[in-house]
Chains A and B, each alone.
Chain A
Amino acid sequence: MDRNMIVDTRNMNHWFGTGEARKQVLFDINLALPRGSFTVLMGPSGSGKTTVLTLLGCLRAVQDGTVKLTGHELHGASEAELTRLRQRLGFIFQSHNLHESLTAMQNVVMGVQVRARVPDDLARKAAAVALGLVGLSDRMDYLPANLSGGQKQRVAVARALVGNPDMVFADEPTAALDKDSAADVVDLLKRLGAERGTTTLLVTHDNRILDRADRILTLEDGKIVTVQEHA
């Protein structure tokens, strides 16, 4: 197994349901993502993109195959191990990323404090820097309800990146955004990820994003059908 690969899967299969209703949704997925790469995962609805993301992101138990994340085998890992591994990951969801009772700053602080009891003033400093990087220095004490969709996703980017994760998983983070905000958010993810050497796996239908990817994987009916590498 290549040590430069942060994700390395061999013959990953996945099924949903039990008995009669049992249905295979992923077939022999083999993929390797180099450290620091920016990969886009595409494919029609129902092709299994989210399932791949949740498996690699330690949010679902691996059923079959070998799946290595930062050198750790996920197949057979306990819930506590998966939780610990997730502390080294960043997640950006389509929506509902932020806690409605917490300000932008407090939401980002949650991303700092998950790994260790970072003293409050240090955590706030780190959060302020991260919010500055996503251009929200003037919105730090706003509650999510008072932020636009694009601003909320930028807070989510700041929270995902503030702890310098090994890897960021994003599932259609721009689906609910207008064209300009979508481009903003993806550019931020790409630029900040590159600066930190963070690996990014991003699921999208959004064609506007494709030219920013190092690599585009296309999934159809649970199988990887094409791999496009960009220089």
Chain B
Amino acid sequence: MTIVLQWLFGRLPIGWLQLTHKRGRFIAALSGVAFANVLVFVQLGIMNSMATATLKPYEFFNADIMISAPDANALAEGGNVARQWMLQALADPDVISGTGLFIAKAPLKRGDTDISLTTFGVDPGQPGFLAPLIAGDIAFLEVQHVAILDRLTRGIPRDEAAAIRPQSPFSFETQGRTLTAITTFAGGGGFGGDGYMFVSDQTFLSMFGARSSTAPNHILLRVQYGADVSAIVERLRGLISDKTLRIRSYADAAQEDLRYQQTRRPTGIIFGFGVLIGVLVGLVIVYQVLSADVADHLREYATFKAMGYGPRFFLGIIVEEALVLGILGFLPGLAVGAAILTLMGKVTTLPLAMTPGMAVTVFVGTVVFSVLSGVIATRRLAAADPADLF
């Protein structure tokens, strides 16, 4: 290692030698950096999984434009939209079809576990609005009280869910109705519910008596192939008389939902803070280690100054130390972080995992912040006055 660094710096790797001279302290410092890394990894992992989970249900549908109530910040949040606006939208020559999407949470009791299913009521006559993973089975929903169930639902054993077929259906009570799931799809539990379920709009309305067929949660539109979606959105905003409605491209709606989850929802803010705290902890640890190291070696640095070494030399030592701490602390942090995320993913069935993007981001961040704290720590070098050595 010394030789590699020597070759890299073209001088004795004093920072490295200095750090490794006090082995106990060095290991403590590395653990500190690793700890900060783990903190950031876990928070980032949760944030990432929140993003994945938030965007997941948008993948079930195939639409170009979504019309929602003004307070519908998320897919399963906010009020309804009157169906009549869909008819106004269809007047636009580029809008080729529209459908109402109904959404509500339905509880499912399985033994002692309460499972919350985010239930989508869709028109089985319009398979074009569904993603291929569901569209193929949508015809099943023509029959009243039939459901397509999320086989990754938290609380339903995987093998049990996988066994659901038309010939071996799974019946359950919810909302005072008996539903029969005759097939499944791969959804996955998120932060808002344990899983998803598709039923026909008719079944949905029979389950949720207070809801009316004239007021779905969202209106989905599809446009002419190749048409400019944002131009149509603009036109629809002028065309539809209710100016309070949120008329957005489907992609924008998904991104706005995500932004809302990350910046407005307490959970998103807390995890964002977690990342910030991890960064701060790492910054403080590296700063502490480096400035204590500078303080410990003030007389030696003063000797180097007397010998004629200049400011760049000292900055080089500290940056070298910062790089050593950052890089060597990152590796165990990565290993432990990945292990914790995998374990948490297993326990919560959230899509938690270490991604290469996260690893690269955290690595670059660690190195940058380490060097930053190193640069701050060099201010203490001014105290090394070689005239005081005598």
What is A's interface to B at a CB cutoff of 8 Å?
A: 50, 53-54, 57, 59-60, 80, 83-89, 91, 93-94, 96-102, 106, 109-111, 113-115, 117, 120, 159, 171, 203
Given contacts A96-B300, A102-B14, A109-B12, contact A59 B307 (CB under 8 A): no
B306 engages A86 (CB within 8 Å): yes
Verify if B310 is at the interface (C-beta below 8 Å from A): yes
A99 engages B300 (CB within 8 Å): yes
Verify if B304 is at the interface (C-beta below 8 Å from A): yes
Classify chain B: how many residues form its interface, as a range: 20 to 34
Verify if B174 is at the interface (C-beta below 8 Å from A): no
A83 to B312, CA, bound (A): 12
- Chain B residues with CB under 8 A of A80: 310
Verify if B387 is at the interface (C-beta below 8 Å from A): yes
Q: Which of B10, B21, B308 contacts A114 (CB 8 A)?
A: B308
Contact residues of B between 3 and 24, Cβ < 8 Å to A: 6, 10-12, 14, 17-18, 20-21
A84 engages B14 (CB within 8 Å): no
What is B's interface to A at a CB cutoff of 8 Å?
A: 6, 10-12, 14, 17-18, 20-21, 297, 299-300, 303-310, 386-387, 389-390
| Residue ID in chain A nearest B389 by CB atoms | A93
A111 to B304, CA, bound (A): 9
A203 to B306, CA, bound (A): 17
Given contacts A96-B300, A96-B303, A114-B309, contact A102 B17 (CB under 8 A): yes
A102 to B136, CA, bound (A): 72
Q: Does more than half of chain B's interface fall in helix, strand or loop, or is it mixed?
A: helix
A50 engages B390 (CB within 8 Å): yes
Which 9 A-B pairs have CB atoms at the shortest separation, nearest pair first? A87-B308, A101-B21, A86-B308, A50-B390, A171-B390, A96-B299, A59-B387, A101-B17, A101-B18
- Chain B residues with CB under 8 A of A102: 12, 14, 17
B387 engages A113 (CB within 8 Å): no
A59 engages B386 (CB within 8 Å): yes
Q: Which of B6, B18, B304 contacts A110 (CB 8 A)?
A: B304
- Chain B residues with CB under 8 A of A113: 11-12
B12 engages A84 (CB within 8 Å): no
B390 engages A86 (CB within 8 Å): no
| Residue ID in chain B nearest A84 by CB atoms | B308
| Residue ID in chain B nearest A80 by CB atoms | B310
Q: Which of B17, B386, B387 contacts A106 (CB 8 A)?
A: B17
Q: Which has the most chain B C-beta neighbours within 10 Å: A85, A99, A115, A203?
A: A99
A54 engages B387 (CB within 8 Å): yes
Given contacts A93-B389, A93-B390, A171-B390, contact A59 B306 (CB under 8 A): yes
